[in-house]
Amino acid sequence: MSHSEKNNSIVLASTSPRRRELISRFHYPVSLCAPIAKEGPPKLNEAPTDYVERMAVLKAESARHNMSTSDLIIGADTIVWSNNEIFGKPSSGHDASMMLRFLRNSTHNVSTSMVLIAPDREDILIQTSTVSVTMRDYSDAEIEEYVKTGDPMDKAGAYAIQHKGFHPVKTFEGCYTSVLGLPLCTLSISLRRYGVKISTVECGVGIDSQYYAASPKLKIDNAVDKGDLS
């Protein structure tokens, strides 16, 4: 792995609009590539964190064959889970409603795994962030109105933490952008390790975190190393 600062070309292997928007906040040129690999179900007795890491590796690996040998490839996957049960994307509006009722007024985990494949293809870095999320006690009527918007259908666990209309989350403990699908604090440090010239981002700093700043569990640092996400 090279630790010297240089202008590496970065490829994000993702079709997620939110991940693409998040990585754009580094103000660094990033190419976008849709991974050709399809997500599969967990293996028998496979732990949630093992599963999300396997899916992230699968996405990154599926993109590397079509990329230049000078590209630094980033793959990511996010899952919602509780008691080792994984909640994927809902298959129908009814399925989304069932998930939201199960998660209501309780605490679950959101794990995001990131995979970075070095330009020389010999080094693969896997990092997984798990955040504890507590949902508020929303009503059945609120669930029905949210499901009607269609927003839950492409979301793991059938919800988006940032949805201002539904606002499903009461409190959380951990990295906010990890719940969104890409922990920028961890990613910024990792990219610098590969020689990418960007500033590091401190966890809990930025416009997204401010929305949940009142949470008693959310620890926000006041300083940022020139990595303001605004």
- Just list the catalytic residues: 77
Residue 175's CB: how many other CB atoms inside 10 A?
21
Sign, CA dihedral 168-173-177-180, equals negative
User: Which residues in 117-139 are b (16+ Cβ under 10 Å) and which e?
Assistant: bbbeeeeeeebbbbbebbbeebe
**Parallel, antiparallel, or unpaired for β 9-13 and 30-33?**
parallel
Q: What are phi and psi of 209, to 5 degrees?
A: -65, -30
Q: Give the span between the Cα atoms of 81 and 156, in whole angstroms.
A: 9
Residues in CB range of 45: below 8 A, 6 or more apart: none
**Parallel, antiparallel, or unpaired for β 169-173 and 124-135?**
antiparallel
